[in-house]
Structure formats: structure tokens, C-alpha cells
Structure 1
Amino acid sequence: MPATLFLCGQSIYDCMEKEMDAFSLSGSSGVVLSDDSNLVKEVKVRNDSSKSSEVSNTVNEKKKKKGKSAGTKTAESIPDDDDYVPAKSKKNQRKGKDASSNQVSDTKTGAKKDLAKDDKINVPSEEWVTQKILTLVPDFEEQGVEDLQIILRPLSNYMRPMLINYLKERRKALFTENTEKMKRLLDNLQKRLDESFLNMQLYEKALDLFEDDQSTSVVLHRHLLRTIAASIADVLFHNLDMHNKLKNGIEVEESQSLESITLNSAERIALAKSFPGSLTKKALAVVEALEGKRVEAFMTSLREMAEESGLLLKKLDKKLERSLLHSYRKDLSAQVSAETDPVTLLPKVVSLLYIQVCSKALQAPGRAISIAVSRLKDKLDDSAYKILTDYQTATVTLLSLVSVATGDEEDCTSDRILSKREFLENLMPALKGLVLNTSQS
């Protein structure tokens, strides 16, 4: 092949190598476009049968000149496989003309295995390379060459092995980078799960206080499932999805693992089905538990999914429970002290009271607050309980007025809303005093 052709080929190769970055980072087999073959076929169609005969005659003449030895015949007859012959096999071929047919067979077998391996990792096909050459040098047809394949095929065969090697090196580098990312991702995920799962166990213990009231118990269980439990599951699903992508050679930004993510049921199911092997079944069990009525079912399924993923979930012991309660009490006290919204204040005070008098971290939605307040009657003195119930009653009234307000100037509801809000604001210091004085003592 003329040196000028290889010089031209090197220039084209440099351009093609830049495009290989996107190719190497893609896990989709769709990168080798089916439409590429159509462009190549257009070139082939333009060559009439007489030109094909000329090419055939030229090839036959070259074969006659080179001789009819077995080694030469093998090299000429299987050009497609020759690109993939392992280095060791090529050395065997160079040992001499007396190479046996078994060695040739082994070479073919090795080539086919290498070809199959390359197919699995999505390497550029000969037609893909040819199409890229035509795209980069569209004026090849103006060079006066009757059969473009005389130029395109040698160029393609020259570039393709180098592109494949470049691609493999890029993938190797990406694999190393992704391996490090996967380790960091799992380490960060483990830390997040340690904290959130311990808190979840802490909140779960408070549910025992309401097991004798079935309707309230269901409300509390569902609230915990829809809030804290869902948040834990979403973090786990999101990070395992990222881990799965990294494992499959897909580039992912590490910052995404630190983001707060909120998924709906359909999104969780879709992610669960994308997980490998038996992890799918474990993940679907978590999704089902989130839609259920019992927190313990979620806790069990979450443990099983975490174990399947190689993650460990710590069990809450007495020492950890006391430490978490102390931290939670301190945090809630700060929130209560800084709270200025009279409506938002009530559930925080109720939660803090449950820590102080029951040593339980209650997570209660608005519709369960009245029941939670009534359970404190025997735990508080009469004056404290009256402040709490008066505040709770006024809060319910205010929310009812707000829900029916029309915004009409003639509607007296707005005046009643202002009056009730003012009443609550005046009562806020007394309500805060129920918990802050005790917390600070």
C-alpha cells in the first residue's frame, strides 16, 4: 500500500479516535448503527459487475505471484479473521511453512473466540469504520478511483485494529475509575444507611404505645412508611442503581449519590426490575412493604435487600437508643425554641413531650395528634395538660377555618382566622415552656 495512503489514513484515524470516546463510554449496542451499512452499500452498488470482475482478476493475479503455499493461502483466504488473531497465534504462523493444519485450525478458533469477545464488548464493525471514513472524507469519490472499496477496505482494515485497541484501553481506564467510584459510593451509602436505619428503629419503638388502638396504629405505621421509610428506600434504590451503572461501564457523576431523591412507586418498581439477579426480588419486596400497613414488614424486607447488596444494617441496642434519644431531644428543643409558626409548633412539642415522659421518639401526622395528646393526660399535671389541650383545640379550629375560607371581603371567616391565630401566638410561650423548661433543667 502506498505510503501516502497510510499518511492520509493516519490523519483520518486521528479524527476517528476522538469520536471513539463517546463510543467507549456507551454500554449500548446501538452505537454500531444499522444505518451505517446502507451508506457502505451505496458505495458497493455504484460498482458495476465489470468493475467487480476487474477487482477479482487483480486479486487472482496477486495470489499467483505470491504462490500457493498453505500459509499464504490461509492469510489470503481469511482476511476478516486475521484482524483478531492473538499475538501468540501469529508467532506460531511465523515458525515456518511446515505449520500443520491443526495450527491453522487453532488460529481460526482463537480468532473466532477473540471476535466473539470483541462483539460482546461492542467494538466498531468494519462497516462502521468504513462509514466514518466516508463521513470524514466525502470527496473520496472525486479522486478518480473507479472502485472505492480498493481504498476503503484497506484503510478500514488498517484502522480498525488500532481503534479496537484504543477502545479497550479507554474501557480499561474507565473500569479502574468506576471501580474506585463504586467503592466510595458503597462506603457513603453504608454511612447514610447506618444513621437513617437506626433512627427508623427508634421511631418504630414508639409505635408500640398505640398497638391497643388499631385505627391510630395504622395511621402511625403508614405515616412512618410514607415518610422516613420511603426516604431510606429511595436512597438505597438510587445508589444501587448508580452502582449498577458503574459496574456496567456507564459514566456517572458521584455528586448524584449525595442528592436527596424522591421516587414514586412506579419508579421504584422500574429500578427494582433493573437490578441484577435475586436483588430484583428483594427490591420488589421493599416496594410492596412500603405500600403496606406494617413497619416491621418493611424493616425485614429492607434488611434482606441490604444483605443481598453486601450492606450491613446495624441493630439498635440500649446504649445506641439512649444516645439517639438524647440527640433527638436536643435537636427538637432547638427547633421548638426557634419556631415562630403556631401551627407547626404543636407536633414538635408533642414529640418532645413523648421523649421526656415516655422515652419514645414519636412521629405522628396531623390527624393523629389529638390521640397522641389524649395519651399524655396521665403523664402531665392538670395545668400543663390544659395548656396542651387548649392549644390543640385552637389549632384544629384555625385549620378548619382556613380550609373553608373563600377570601371574600364580606366573609367573616378571615376575622375569625386572625383572632384564632392571635390566640395561638399568645399561647406559644406557655406551650414552649412545657418542654423547654424541662429540657434545660
Structure 2
Amino acid sequence: MPVQVTNIALPDAGKILNLYMKIGFVVHFFDFRNDVRKVIDIISQQHQVVLFVRKEDLQQIKSFVNDRIEVRMADENLPTSQNLILNNLFRFLGKLPESIQNYYLMEVFKISLNPAPVQKKARFWLDLSMKLPRIMTYDYYLNHLQYKGATPIDDIDEFICFTDISDSYLLARLIRERKKVKIYVYSWDHPCKQVKYSNQVDYLVWNEGIREDMIKLQHIHPERIQITGASQFAYVDQFLSIPEASLSKPFSFPYIYFGCAIGAPEIATDEIKVIRLLSQAMQKHLPDVRLVVRPYPVMKDWSIYESLKELPNVILDDKFRSKDLSVQEDFIMEKFIKIHFAEAFIHLGTTLGFEACFTETPSIIIDFEYFQQDKSLLSIKNFVHQYQNDKYLLLKEYPNVVHSEKELKELFQGLLPDKTRYLAYNKAVRDTTPLKKFEQFASQLIYN
């Protein structure tokens, strides 16, 4: 049976939903963030909703929204000499989070999404910037940024943004005109790897641990941060409410589910090597169990996974990708069903490994000792040992953290006879973030 996680009740949530407001959401990555679209749709049933979007995202975002939601183009970008200088200064001197390696890995991943000639130039400038004194705060940048003042905003009661901030010009205007602004920190790793955090707005985060991360890594004032829960984990809650009897096994054979986590091609090849090693070990110690591999959804080129199809005990689970980055809700539930029926979920440090902890399927993270041999900033060691993984997932007191092929052998030999010794880890991880239903989260997003 799926683990039953008690939701936190929101006092008088129904009552406060009756307070009508006009709410502006500053959105991006709208195709990829199914949960954000669902939350905004729920809020639009009780309030008037306006989406503020960049010009380049306008048509795509319009295709995702219902008739109740208004879409406005944010038009604040002002091409002045001062802004040009300021943008370049922040690019090269902008203050980094304390977890610098997280920032670097994310920037390399973003660069990898560009054509090859652009990548080479961008990597040069990134590597140069890493050697410079990063002393300019985001608040200094915002306070000196010039903007058009052309976007209609006077009718909006409050604004809600999502990390990473997509429009600093609009945010600068909202702050200077003293608008009510809240920023939802969308993911557990965002405080570790992003640079656009201001002490002039309020923040909403998943849990107490991430509140601590905001204070430690981004130096946000504690009174600026409130806890709302995780919007994307509302899908976990939705899955756990499905009766066990109505769940169908996705495969007719026993399997271990591996969730790919790496988007930067240079180190994604190292992840492929780990998968091959797992495949070989399973052939030896779990010959009747298959390895089902889920590609990293936002990896630009999935051809990197093609060679895995040659392995006799590996199945590539690659049918969930669409023409954009969106994933149908049925596929989201299917993902949890595959985790639920797996003998184990294995990964190198991913949100899916966190989500797996809400099930009775052991969540296993690989941290092989040989990873330590690579001393470069862009390495599989630094990927696995990102700040959020070290804090929330690499809990060394549990057998779920595998350091060697010997421990991997012990895992495979002990997994089928008795999974229970691996479930204390699941509980320790999931207890950090109580689940919320979409309606509960939507209410807290507005009224917190």
C-alpha cells in the first residue's frame, strides 16, 4: 500500500478563499511546471488572475490557460547605457550563493541548451566570471536598474513570482512602486544555485530546512520567509489517495527504477557509466530483475541514452516526453505508479529520489567512492554532493546511501528478501516536508 501521509489542515481556508482579490502571477517555464498551472487554475476559480509574461513566451503561455485568466505582456526592459553596464556588472560580479558549485553546475547546464558555437563562448565567460570577486548584491542591481513603466499594474492587489526570477526589470518596478510582492521558491535546490534573491520582498518555501538555506546561502532576513509546502509534491498526495486495488502493475516482471538526474552532457556520460555498472551488477546478483531507466526530462538531447538499449536487462522508459517540456498528468501519475511497484528507486541526486521517499519503495542514492577522484568543478562528485543532496538525501547513517560495489552487492542481495531495513530512510526524508493538497497549497500561496 502507498504510505499515507497526513496533510496539515489549514484553519478557515474555505472562509478566507471568499476574500476576492486580483492577483498578478509573473510566470515562466509554464510548459514544464504542470503544478504551477494547476495551482493558478484553482486560484482563478476564486480570484481574478492576471499572468505577466515575457514577449517571447506570450503565445505559448496563452495556449495553456483558461478563459478566466488574463495574459499581459511585461514591458519594462529599457535598453539604456546605464542598464547595459549594470547588466554586465551583475553578470560578472553578481554575488553568488554560498554553495558555489551548485551555481556553476546549473550555469553549465543552461549553456548546454544552446548551439555549439554559443556554448563555447558562454563557457569562456562563465569560467572567467568564476575568478572575479562576486560582490554586487541583487538588491544593488535592482535599485539601480532603469525600467519603462509601461506595463499596466495599478489594478493588481498582489504579485506572486516564481524562482528563478525571469524579469528583473518588472521586479525592480514592483519594488520601487511598493507593490506587495511574494516569491515562491519553486524547488529545494533553488537557494543553492541561483543569484536573484532580494531582501525587499517576501519568500514562500517548502519547509523549515529550506528556510534555513535561504538565510544561510542567500542571506535573506528570517522575517521575510514563510513556509507553504511544495506545489509539485501535491501530485504525490494525489497519487497516495488512489486506492491500491485500482493500481495496475506497469510491467509483468520485477524491476528496479533508475531516475536520471544530470542535464549537463559532460557529466551525463558519467551517469550512463553508473547505469551500465548497475546493469552488470544486477545481471550477477539479480538476474531475474530488470533495470528500467527514466531519462532526465529536461536533457536537451535524449540520444545520449540510446546506447543503454543494447544492454539485455535495461528498458528505457522514454515515452513520456511531449513536443514541449510539459508532461501530461496521466504520465505524472504513471511515474509514481512505476516507483510504487519497483523493488527500489535508484538515483544520483534528484527531486524524484525525494518524491520516492513518500512511497514504500526504498529510495537509494549512489555516491561511489571513485567519484572522489575527479577534482574538477564540473564533475559527477560535485553533482552528487550538491548542497541539497548533502543536507537532505546523503544521510550516511542509513544503508540507502551506497558508496561502493561491495555495498551495491549487499543492497541487491538483501533487497528482495527484506525491503523494510531501507524504509527508515524514506521516512526520515519525507518527514522534512509534509504534503499539501493542491487546494491547500493554493490557499497558503495567496494568504501566507
**Fold shared per TM-score above 0.5:** no
Give the shorter-chain TM-score range. Answer: under 0.3
Name the structure with the higher helix share. Answer: 1
Higher relative contact order (CA 8 A, sep 6+): 2
Structure with larger Rg: 1
Name the structure with the higher strand share. Answer: 2
TM-score (norm 2): 0.20
